[in-house]
Structure 1
Amino acid sequence: MATIAGITTKQTQTSTDTTNKSANDELGKDAFLKLLITQLSNQDPLSPTNDTEFISQMAQFSALEQMTNLNSSMTSVQAASMIGKLITWAEDGEELGGLVSAVRISNGEPSLVVGEKTVKLSTVMSVWDPTILDPEDPETVG
């Protein structure tokens, strides 16, 4: 159970394990496209790449682009699902909490609006629904 702003609730943790990876940690669609262009420009003209291999590589590129777009959309959906929820987050070594009132998207990255603060999704430590009250807690039973 947690008490924030006088509201006692049953706490349900939600994983927001959003890791920040540098551009060098994973092969993005730009790097994949550069690799494909390099491969095509350096191929032997007397023995070009098999059509099947080329189509396979283009399909992989298309799948990579779709997964990247899906990941971006899911992050936005995850942020939007937190509207109306109580959250805690870490800021300057301190744990803060509050009710999410909106989502703000800046440079393609969603942030949560809590009061006057803008909270990055990656700093959220816990999320719970304030409408789920604990029936075993006498303070929450009416």
Structure 2
Amino acid sequence: MNTDISSLTASTLGSASSASSAANSSSTKKTMGLDMDDFLKILAASMSNPSLTGEGGDSSSSGTDYVSQMAQFATLQQLNDMSSTLNTSLLLTQQQQAFNLMGKEVTVLDETNAEHHGLVNQVSFAGGSAMITVDGTQYSLGAIKDVSEPAEN
């Protein structure tokens, strides 16, 4: 049974692409090009067509190779998920810190390292990053040098 590898690969990737297109419509689609379902479809197609491995005969190690590849893929997918979760957590923490600065007296440094003192009177977000406004000028949270309670009058 000698099948044209390029057409078989194209049809396998085509069906994986169809599955991927269906998954794209759901909100749970990962940002990676392939998800675990796509990987398993490609794996099943390559196992049912051993000529795709480039070996003439059956190899006893090919089964463990597939399991190893699947474990590596699952690990990569979990690391990507963890990275996304950590980024979201970092942004939420930064936003909460910015909200807690409202009404506080701060010392901030501008681009020339000049100090400016004033009350934080606004918090805004640019690209998910928190920005504070002091005396009409926006600063990133990294520009803050000191924070204190406002002086009582």
TM-score by length of 1: 0.56
Which one has a bigger Cα radius of gyration? 2
Q: Which runs of 5+ in 2 are unaligned?
A: 1-30, 43-51, 54-61
Relative contact order, CA 8 A, sep 6+: which one is greater? 1
Please give the residue correspondences for 1:26-65 in structure 2 after superposition, counting only pairs within 5 Å.
45=53, 46=62, 47-50=65-68, 51-65=70-84
> In structure 1, what is the equivalent of residue 6 of structure 2?
none
TM-score by length of 2: 0.52
Distance (whole Å) between structure 2 residues aligned to residue 77 and residue 115 of structure 1 = 21
* 1:65 shift after superposition: 0.9
**Aligned partner of 1:124: which letter?**
I
Distance (whole Å) between structure 2 residues aligned to residue 93 and residue 65 of structure 1 = 33
Identity %: 17
**Aligned partner of 2:119: which letter?**
L
Provide runs of 4+ in structure 1 moved above 4 Å: none
2:114 to 74, 83, 94: 94
Q: Which has the higher helix share?
A: 2
Aligned length: 96
2:99 to 72, 80, 86: 80
For residue 89 of structure 2, give the secondary structure of its aligned residue in structure 1: helix
Matched, 1:128 2:148: yes
> In structure 1, what is the equivalent of residue 127 of structure 2?
107
Distance (whole Å) between structure 1 residues aligned to residue 146 and residue 95 of structure 2 = 17
For residue 101 of structure 1, give the secondary structure of its aligned residue in structure 2: strand
Across the aligned residues of Structure 1 and Structure 2, the Cα RMSD in angstroms comes to: 2.9
Q: Which has the higher strand share?
A: 1
